Chains A and B, each alone.
Chain A
Amino acid sequence: MNIIKFIESFTDDNAFRQNASRRQSLGQLGAIGKKSLFAAMPTGLLTLLLVPQKSGAATALTTTADNNSPTDALRLALLLEYLDSEFYQRGLDTNGLIPEGRDRDSYTKIVNNEYGHINTLVQALGGTGSPNYFENPEFDYTAGGLFDPFNNYDQFLALSQSFEDTGVRAYKGQSPNLMSQPDLLQAALQIHATESRQAAEIRRLRGAKGWIQGNNRDGLPPQAQPVYNGEEMATQAGFSTGQVNNPGGPAIPSIAGTESFDEPLTREQVLSIAGMFIPDNPLE
């Protein structure tokens, strides 16, 4: 379903979306990917980096046992992008849920960005025919009946915030696993920055600050606390960020130190958070 939506965002052919089978759709995904590569040539290099190079060898996963390969990082990112994009698309498709104007404009932009991220990640993983690829799993956005986001906009916003802040922390945590592949690392950093823009926008739509204060979950339900744990870090590079004095400027409150830095999440932390919404997690 999500893949179909994704393809719709890249094609104007309405007949296609009504008649195409899922298999045809996946074929189309590859073609779309190639087209968009011309628009962003450095991204094109990504495919070369991760597609198995030996002829006839395109059957092996390039994940590692300790889950710290570039492929592992990209697959984790893909899972989160699936989670986010389907959530926003379902929200946009729910009549009367997202108010017209700023809110709807922002969510429309965000879901399109997420589809672009999926496209980038799938290409980097070698396309839909690669063993590194996996399909959009089924999501349960009620988290087993805890939430009702498609009937309650406040809850929809709250879950959106938790998804975006998780995404920011997840990409950050995976960045060291991409250092061996500079083009991939840069692409991930670019996506990371977009996720951060989106996180701030959604937080502002909720009336919260655009940045995270301490480990404050800003009124989100207690189940979201793991998204914010660790954000209270007040030492960076051996420097205490809560005691900064700027001669010639106003006094700087201690809490600003924690706001100034977003903290990484580990793969395990990310999977634990996202797992609430993924009954059958393809990465576990």
Chain B
Amino acid sequence: MKETFKVKEVGIANRRSFLKISGLAMAGTALLLTGCNDDDDSGVNNNNNQMPGIRNGVFDFGGGDNGILTYAYALEQLEADFYTRVVNGNTFGSIFNTDEQAVLADLYNHEVIHREVLKQAINTAVNNNQQQVLPNLNFDYGALNFGNRNQVLDVARKLEDTGVAAYNGAGKYLANATNLVLAGKIVSVESRHASVIRSLINPDDAFFAANDVVEPSTGKNMAKEPSQVLSEIEDMGYIQTAFTANYLS
């Protein structure tokens, strides 16, 4: 797969620099709304016209609606892969009680379906040009012990909370109302996930909407810019495939 798409596997150090670079580029474009790039349309901010695809040997998410859909697709790939490993784990039936197993099995189902729907949406948007569809990413969870209930639930919490904040921050970059509603259909289910996972970790003290995810004076769930989300995803270290996101906002 990766040869087909000429996605270059790189070591941790290189991967880190790729993401660092992309984060800087995004911060720059976010601040300078008329920021420049080297596209051949002259004199306008055409980040939104940048298609997903390989640049300098690395897949870039592209800009505009296709870029945001690709960004969401990458996040859903991560979640789907994570829960696939969770439900496939040898100890899945012993470290989780019946309720927890049912929740995690549902989350596995939902995230795989989200991944496949976003893949379809992107395919439609790029007329099935496979050069413009993010390839299957590779994942490695390092020291994470899938046989440890608390570790698994904590990663699930981070992924769900991050996903919700990511969709919340990305919605404003969508120009197509159909895409906005599609993202909205997904994010509310992600938020339901985040709530339930949190209540499995701690059913009391309203942990489902604790102050670290819902600002108490406004009742607003966190929203995060793509650059911040990708920086946090990088720190998690689970995505092994290099990519850039130079045109997301």
Contacts and interface: CB of A to CB of B under 8 A. Distances in A.
A168 to B, nearest CB: 5
Interface string A97-122: 00001100110111011111101100
Nearest to B80: A246
Interface stretch (B22-30, B35-43, B142-150, B220-228): B220-228
B21 to A, nearest CB: 26
A195 B164 CA distance: 12
B180 A176 contact: yes
A21 interface: no
B113 A200 contact: no
A257 B186 CA distance: 11
A110 B218 CA distance: 12
A120 B221 CA distance: 13
Contacts of A249: 84, 87-88, 108, 112
Contact of A105 (B112, B175, B206): B206
Interface in A188-246: 189-201, 204, 209-211, 236-239, 241, 244, 246
A250 B108 contact: yes
A173 to B, nearest CB: 8
B196 A238 contact: no
Given A211-B192, A262-B185, A191 B219 contact: yes
Contact of B117 (A198, A241, A253, A264): A241
Contacts of A168: 188
Range of interface residues on A (Cβ < 8 Å): 35 or more
Given A36-B218, A116-B219, A116-B220, A198 B209 contact: yes
Interface in B213-245: 213-223
Given A114-B219, A196-B195, A201-B199, A260 B189 contact: yes
Nearest to B124: A238
A65 interface: no
Given A40-B218, A197-B209, A238-B120, A256 B203 contact: no
A231 to B, nearest CB: 10
B3 interface: no
A276 interface: no
Contact of A192 (B105, B184, B216): B184
Contacts of B216: 112-113, 116
Classify the secondary structure of A's interface with B. Answer: helix
A193 B172 contact: no
B109 A259 contact: yes
B169 A210 contact: no
Interface stretch (A132-140, A146-154, A178-186): A178-186
A149 to B, nearest CB: 21
A144 to B, nearest CB: 30
A267 to B, nearest CB: 14
B181 interface: yes
Given A256-B106, A260-B110, A172 B218 contact: no
A252 interface: yes
A198 B192 CA distance: 8
Given A105-B204, A193-B188, A260-B189, A43 B218 contact: yes
Interface string A68-101: 0000000000000000000000000000000001
Nearest to A199: B192
Nearest to B209: A197
Given A192-B187, A236-B185, A261-B189, A252 B208 contact: no
B192 A102 contact: no
A248 interface: yes
B157 interface: no
A117 to B, nearest CB: 5
Interface in B98-130: 103, 105-106, 108-110, 112-114, 116-118, 120-121, 124
14 contacts: A10-B217, A102-B204, A110-B209, A112-B219, A172-B185, A172-B188, A187-B220, A194-B191, A194-B219, A195-B188, A244-B112, A248-B88, A250-B87, A264-B181
Interface of B: 80, 84, 87-88, 103, 105-106, 108-110, 112-114, 116-118, 120-121, 124, 164, 167-169, 171-172, 174-175, 177, 180-182, 184-189, 191-196, 199, 203-206, 208-209, 213-223
Complex A-B, nearest 4 residue pairs according to Cβ-Cβ distance, in ascending order: A116-B219, A113-B219, A109-B206, A196-B191
Given A193-B191, A197-B221, A259-B110, 18 more contacts: A40-B215, A40-B220, A106-B206, A116-B219, A117-B218, A176-B181, A183-B172, A187-B220, A193-B187, A194-B191, A201-B199, A236-B185, A237-B182, A259-B106, A259-B109, A260-B117, A261-B185, A263-B185
